[in-house]
Amino acid sequence: MKKTITYLVILISLIAQAQEKDKFLPQGNEKFADKNYADAEAEYRLSQAKFKKKSIASYNLGTSIYKQNQTAEAKYQFAKAIKDAKTKAEKHQAFHNLGNSFMKEKNYSNAVEAYKNALRNDPNDEETRYNFALAKKMLKDNPPPKEQDKKKDKKKDKEKEKEKDKNKDKNDDKKDKGDNKDKDKKDGKDKKDKQDKGDGEKPQPKPSGASKQRIDNLLDAVNNEEKKVQEKVNAQKVQANPKKPEKDW
């Protein structure tokens, strides 16, 4: 019995949701007609949030965003509208405006495909036919780069990058050599300074400039003086320690 009641409640809620009217969509259409695209966008977003599977809400939302020159977001909404579309008419309109978005981005190859899909859903739409022909002409006048050209461009970019790295390495080597050269100069200067200073030892006395003969005379005088002092010291020792007289037998 409980299960039966549960099923009935779910069924009633689904029926009520199906009968619920979308008040946001007509309000958005009014704003759009007044060219108030930002407010129209807000209403369409509410409609899309409330009725997630309605293709018209996504289509109108994409169109209002397209009018605000936001083609990337507009393309997303048109793609959603195509996915949720239930009829060929809905798909035709969504593909048509998707093609317009690609044309605005100058992506002519994708624009051609979008218009082609639009015509598959409505071959008699003259505006789509015109846009399709225009997209093909623009694509012919502005062909996308070939795969071979892309590879060449990538190769050139890689060569430029290698050359840039090579020049960078050369500059680094020059810098290192310059640093080493400066270091060698500094080390040589430090070594010379150490040699001049006796490698940190006490500085040696410089020659006085006296002649060799004068130096020899001074050394002789010092030696003679030391000899006299030594003789005097020895004499004092003899006096201080006289020899004992021999025993008188």
| pLDDT per position as a tens digit, 93-132 | 999 999 999 999 999 999 999 999 999 999 999 999 999 9
- Residue numbers in the chain where pLDDT is lower than 70: 1-20, 147-155, 168-222, 224-226, 228-229, 232-249
Using a 10 angstrom Cβ sphere, with 0-12 exposed, 13-18 middle and 19 or more buried, the burial of residue 193 is exposed
Confidence (pLDDT) at 8: 42
Cβ atoms 51, 26 nearer than 8 A: no
Confidence (pLDDT) at 43: 94
Q: Which two tokens stand for residue 4?
A: 């039966």
CA distance 110 to 117: 11
CATH of domain 16-86: 1.25.40.10
- Of the candidates 134, 115, 135, the residue with the CA atom closest to the CA atom of residue 125: 115
Looking at domain 87-143, its CATH architecture is Alpha Horseshoe (1.25)
Domain ranges of the chain: 16-86, 87-143
Residue 182 one-letter amino acid: D
Are domains 16-86 and 87-143 of this chain identical in fold?
A: yes
Confidence (pLDDT) at 159: 74
Confidence (pLDDT) at 238: 54
Confidence (pLDDT) at 197: 47
